[in-house]
Structure 1
């Protein structure tokens, strides 16, 4: 009888890992004058460099008139008869059994609706938020919170509607209007106000949010202008003395890519790194943008969720060629500079592109508009149509192969993607221009090395390269591949450097810790924070004595504190304290995250693991069961509970829950691996092979899964199948002496 060696790395993997949080990104999800009675206005003596819009008008009357009544100007107003557009004349709107009544009382505007406690109350409307195509309404809570109602006014069709019509929302959920997801201080104010400082106190749960001007006024973009105004009040004297005028944060001569970087702080899906924006440094000195990944983006990088333009624009050839926001939009009115195809034809040759020979549609129709083929869009907040700024060429051929959306079938809904693809081939030829999305899609579906083709080439946009690095390490890579990845720690792109640091955190090996040290002194704060985060996860012993680590780690701690008004921010504080052995503090932060959002089960998972480690098995089990009650289709919880039952010698229940984990989403390779091993222990090798084969559909060429399959085939004396599986393992790991030994013995028929 042959003894088949099982490599240590492939043995049963029970409770060998700790749940940890990838940097969570928080979003502005609202539409965009001060009133001291409602929000404490920042004392102008303390913010003397902010002088207000009135100080700009004298010299910039034309710009002011363009800005007035723009989306920036109307981002937020005091609620009164001149600003409220909705019908508050004793109207009602009912959403899934919850009735909201809108009325006037003593000249003020009110809504009677269900609050956080489930009871109906009158809430005074303090502010309007935005003005077209919808307007939201804001109420105040005692702890300094201001929340946006989820019942909004459609300013085009003039009717009430709900912003989340597809969700069943309970009154105490975080995503309800009275929960954190609609909190102005947290979700909206940073991009809808001027000189906004959130001022959240974690210990008391109180906000003392301040601002200079509550809408997006002149200094929101141009920066504090006190020195600018002072200079021009004494212009002649200053010029006579050779004094140069002070630069504004955004002036008239900002280079294109720098302008995009500056606009990005509000026109992006991003997380905050600092307590407030102080108009210094780059975008990534204050924020971290999301990559082109699900669920925010389609697999090819097209927009899916609300991402606010920046990262999609970084995908475009236009950005690479030096086109910026101001080439299409008037920077003060925000309106397009020209209408229809005339805007595109400012740069593109009319006879070549604005003709049926190019677009094959009737002239002067919607179908012939450039934007409808190259800037497909989506509705957000029910009625707000926003276009994808990646300016891509439609690729129905990708739709055929990968089920990605395409602009052709957005209009031709009665036709198939194959029809659209064939039409493209007929009219434009069989060859499509190379695009990074070709390799991203192949990387997802076929070959992980396709991601490397994207991040290794500077011909592709930096956002695509950075995204590809993160996707690359989501699957196991060899030591040699990881070593090759270190070169991108020195990449000229901030996004690529930052994502490479995070990639090494995902890899999880301390072997590369020395190569990360220089990033602790990177010129950009986001990269320094990522480097500090890496050492907090991998281990700090090599760097905790270094001054650069202490400084970067303090920036990381600031980032954690800044986001402590989010459930995910509280969770991250829990992860940090857990990593340094402060278990009681970690449990406290996890508990606060769950209190803030009763469905924030990422924290419950970590709590359950801690309870198990503390010997509180019953409490751990109850916590996992609570998650399953709330999220019955989430595979990971069944997997963890199955491991718990195995470790506590309840093998029947372990088999039950591991089986469930293998049938739930998302697909879980570890669950299939462990379940198959248990089936082998029960001498159910055929069942084990069935489980592995199903898992291999989602995780092809997974070494651990294939090894378990090999063992079962050997146990069943399936020599030929075992040899085929062993040869496949040798293709994956050709230097393995164990696999070579097994194959040799199989060939000998021993």
Structure 2
């Protein structure tokens, strides 16, 4: 599925369906033949085709039988009496006033519910989706779309329920079941079927999605196997001729970290870079995972939104020590290899860890299970409990200080985090093992310099290091710090290199462009794409004639086109065409994004600015007002509208909207600055100071705000306060001649 969703609509909680346990690995070696050497994988796949799981049964009966009825086998099925679990015997379910009726007609299964136009219609169920703890049902639409109902069947309790019970969803919203967020082709098909080709025609808005097998079958994990099957059909002749067998995509010799990356294709929150996965290259040649950032993760890296295991597992010591998916999960049935603590005790010493002296709970109880302390979890899709695979030690001391979750208080909900922290100190001592989360949290809430301690420490997980790079540049950094950051463009970690490129894009300093140029030829597609994106946003004049830029830019545009069935993808296409000066095409994509999702206001914000720049002031104002109608608490819209009124000489309305912007979320530095500056220009210096004092609580050390504050204090003859403010400015920028002159004159009393 595509996990690349971006929106300003804060109430979105996008349901993604891929929640099955880890991908299968390798079938046993055919006929017990010892294979000392194989045909190169990528060469072998160039001519191989998909032949279906039935071709595997003859040699791999045990593996096939184990796979049958697994989550992979049940990932998707044709809807019929053998696959549908729910009660379609004239049952009904109502959520937020919308009634869904489930029934059978002529041997087929139907739902009568509210459609995209607000009227009730009968829809035929085409496919089932998953089977436990919930099963969803898929309906076909005329343009090749298949959409999942938001009403699902609870297979544990045997009842209908709604996947978004807390939201009031309008029939024409993107997050409704008829909208893009529930579109199988876009959001989930890639990981629920074998050899999935999305085949979206963006110009016509039509899908021609195909697959080789409807579910996650043998070749979904092992790749197209025609060469493999053909070899063993003529095994004796091939061996006699010295022909070596072609290797499958997931072989027995796959190294642990490589295996995890192969499973990550479907078990991660990530974005698509290519039209389809062709079993060549590595994970980051086709996808790029989301980092440990809010709102997907807690500030310490624990799971918050649906992130599908990979990003969590990369944080763990187990991953660092070479543990992989197959060490805990059977590769075909996907079941755990052992139950309870027995699985953990495969590696961990029983007497040390499986005892009250370690966990301080009564033996043979739920509280004494390792996973309940070290793999806390959350419910997703209402009833699907998934565990955090970062395998972390509970840290209620962090909870007490930073309000992060911890496993202790999950059970002891009647106690405080301080109580749990004191208990741990009493039983385990006051010292906690070094963990990257300590520095991430301090970086978030105290000192951004702590982020540097994370990304500079190669002993920390690479996903944590890369996350820290991105967070580090969210606050201003000096030119020396920027220069120091350039060395991470050469980091051995793909994630760190990639996030460093993105960080320099965020900084937006074209004088650093020469450091990015080598990454246009990086060995990994994701990094090349980020480098091309950097130049499109910051400055491509230096590289646009370089062949490596042209190649990387083609990959970048392909990525944009691959995601053009998402409003975020349409928006990014608009940004791209705007960056190359094709404003007309940019407008077309922004309008398409809004048509796809009426609440996709990032595109409306860009459209409003374009219209204003074209002299269409009324059209621009109307768009800003529409955004305010939909998102009345979003600060940036009021800010932009305030600037529009200021630049069209409507001073009173400019002041009104800038003041509102300063009292909305998220805190908007530019709104405070411009509002205070306007007040100062109108000789309302006391009001300006009130605004600035409030702003500097949220944005301490902000140089331009402090400068406006200094001028207002001088205007009001508050010279002692002005002297202190100027002293602060000199600490921030000691070489600024203007500050030096003002400071000297304040000391001399000549102002």
Q: Could you say which TM-score interval applies, normalised by the shorter chain?
A: over 0.9
- Higher mean alpha-carbon deviation, 72-81 vs 716-725, is at 716-725
Q: Secondary structure at the match of 1:198?
A: coil
The change in CA–CA distance for 1:232 and 1:25 in structure 2 (over 3 A counts) is farther
The change in CA–CA distance for 1:286 and 1:645 in structure 2 (over 3 A counts) is same
| Correspondence 1:30 to 2:17 | yes
What's the TM-score once normalised by structure 2's chain length?
Answer: 0.94
Quick check: 2:4–2:272 contact (8 Å CA) kept in 1? no
Q: How does 1:168-183 map to 2 (within 5 A)?
A: 168-183=168-183
Distance 1:289 1:147 in 2: 25
Q: Secondary structure at the match of 1:186?
A: helix
> Where does residue 202 of structure 2 map in the other structure?
202
> Where does residue 621 of structure 1 map in the other structure?
621
| Correspondence 1:69 to 2:69 | yes
Quick check: 1:25–1:269 contact (8 Å CA) kept in 2? no
- Post-superposition shift, 1:737? 2.7
Residues 573-598 of structure 1, C-alpha deviation per residue, up to 9 Å, x if partnerless? 11111111111111111001000000
> Where does residue 599 of structure 2 map in the other structure?
599
Distance 2:380 2:564 in 1: 27
| Correspondence 1:495 to 2:509 | no
| Correspondence 1:518 to 2:521 | no
Quick check: 1:71–1:334 contact (8 Å CA) kept in 2? yes
- Post-superposition shift, 1:741? 2.5
Quick check: 2:455–2:465 contact (8 Å CA) kept in 1? yes
Q: Secondary structure at the match of 1:421?
A: helix
Distance 2:159 2:377 in 1: 24
> Where does residue 263 of structure 2 map in the other structure?
263
Quick check: 2:292–2:464 contact (8 Å CA) kept in 1? yes
> Where does residue 451 of structure 1 map in the other structure?
451
Distance 2:563 2:301 in 1: 27
Residues 509-546 of structure 1, C-alpha deviation per residue, up to 9 Å, x if partnerless? 11111111110111100001001111111121111111
- Post-superposition shift, 1:424? 1.4
Distance 1:56 1:25 in 2: 41
> Where does residue 348 of structure 1 map in the other structure?
348
- Post-superposition shift, 1:693? 2.4
Quick check: 2:4–2:270 contact (8 Å CA) kept in 1? no
Distance 1:23 1:129 in 2: 21
> Where does residue 731 of structure 2 map in the other structure?
731
- Higher mean alpha-carbon deviation, 286-295 vs 233-242, is at 233-242
The change in CA–CA distance for 1:53 and 1:81 in structure 2 (over 3 A counts) is same
Residues 675-713 of structure 1, C-alpha deviation per residue, up to 9 Å, x if partnerless? 111121222223222222222232222222222222222
Moved over 3 A (4+): 22-28
Quick check: 1:25–1:271 contact (8 Å CA) kept in 2? no
Residues 368-427 of structure 1, C-alpha deviation per residue, up to 9 Å, x if partnerless? 111111111110000000011111111111111111111111111111111111111111
> Where does residue 429 of structure 2 map in the other structure?
429
> Where does residue 668 of structure 2 map in the other structure?
668
Q: Which runs of 5+ in 2 are unaligned?
A: 8-13, 20-45
Residues 707-738 of structure 1, C-alpha deviation per residue, up to 9 Å, x if partnerless? 22222222222223222222222222233232
Residues 15-67 of structure 1, C-alpha deviation per residue, up to 9 Å, x if partnerless? xxxxxxx98679881157xxxxxxxxxxxxx9961110001111111111111
> Where does residue 78 of structure 1 map in the other structure?
78
| Correspondence 1:578 to 2:578 | yes
| Correspondence 1:184 to 2:171 | no
Q: How does 1:118-267 map to 2 (within 5 A)?
A: 118-267=118-267
- Post-superposition shift, 1:253? 1.4
> Where does residue 715 of structure 1 map in the other structure?
715
> Where does residue 611 of structure 1 map in the other structure?
611
Distance 1:634 1:232 in 2: 63
Quick check: 2:18–2:191 contact (8 Å CA) kept in 1? no
Distance 1:318 1:700 in 2: 40
Q: Secondary structure at the match of 1:544?
A: coil
Distance 2:319 2:672 in 1: 44
- Post-superposition shift, 1:245? 1.2
Q: Secondary structure at the match of 2:136?
A: strand
What's the TM-score once normalised by structure 1's chain length?
Answer: 0.94
Quick check: 2:88–2:103 contact (8 Å CA) kept in 1? yes
Distance 1:408 1:746 in 2: 57
Quick check: 1:25–1:289 contact (8 Å CA) kept in 2? no
Q: Secondary structure at the match of 1:379?
A: strand
Q: How does 1:297-696 map to 2 (within 5 A)?
A: 297-696=297-696
Distance 2:181 2:695 in 1: 36
Distance 1:675 1:253 in 2: 63
Distance 1:139 1:23 in 2: 23
Quick check: 1:25–1:270 contact (8 Å CA) kept in 2? no
- Higher mean alpha-carbon deviation, 310-319 vs 145-154, is at 310-319
Distance 1:684 1:361 in 2: 65
The change in CA–CA distance for 1:602 and 1:47 in structure 2 (over 3 A counts) is farther
Distance 1:710 1:747 in 2: 14
Distance 1:314 1:637 in 2: 38
Residues 262-302 of structure 1, C-alpha deviation per residue, up to 9 Å, x if partnerless? 00010001111000000001101000110100110111111
Distance 2:16 2:174 in 1: 14
The change in CA–CA distance for 1:179 and 1:146 in structure 2 (over 3 A counts) is same
The change in CA–CA distance for 1:664 and 1:47 in structure 2 (over 3 A counts) is farther
Distance 2:70 2:705 in 1: 58
Q: Which runs of 5+ in 1 are unaligned?
A: 1-21, 33-45
Distance 1:23 1:214 in 2: 24
Quick check: 1:31–1:135 contact (8 Å CA) kept in 2? no
| Correspondence 1:53 to 2:40 | no
Distance 1:722 1:425 in 2: 48
- Post-superposition shift, 1:492? 0.5
Distance 2:4 2:300 in 1: 22
Distance 2:402 2:743 in 1: 36
> Where does residue 111 of structure 1 map in the other structure?
111
Distance 1:181 1:690 in 2: 44
The change in CA–CA distance for 1:28 and 1:239 in structure 2 (over 3 A counts) is farther
Quick check: 1:409–1:417 contact (8 Å CA) kept in 2? yes
Quick check: 1:31–1:129 contact (8 Å CA) kept in 2? no
Distance 2:348 2:734 in 1: 53
Distance 2:326 2:535 in 1: 41
Quick check: 2:269–2:308 contact (8 Å CA) kept in 1? yes
> Where does residue 32 of structure 2 map in the other structure?
none
> Where does residue 697 of structure 1 map in the other structure?
697
Distance 2:109 2:5 in 1: 36
Distance 1:723 1:595 in 2: 54
Q: Secondary structure at the match of 1:738?
A: helix
Q: Secondary structure at the match of 1:72?
A: coil
Distance 2:341 2:453 in 1: 35
- Post-superposition shift, 1:632? 0.3
Distance 1:110 1:212 in 2: 26
Distance 1:621 1:240 in 2: 78
Quick check: 2:48–2:225 contact (8 Å CA) kept in 1? no
- Post-superposition shift, 1:254? 0.4
> Where does residue 19 of structure 1 map in the other structure?
none
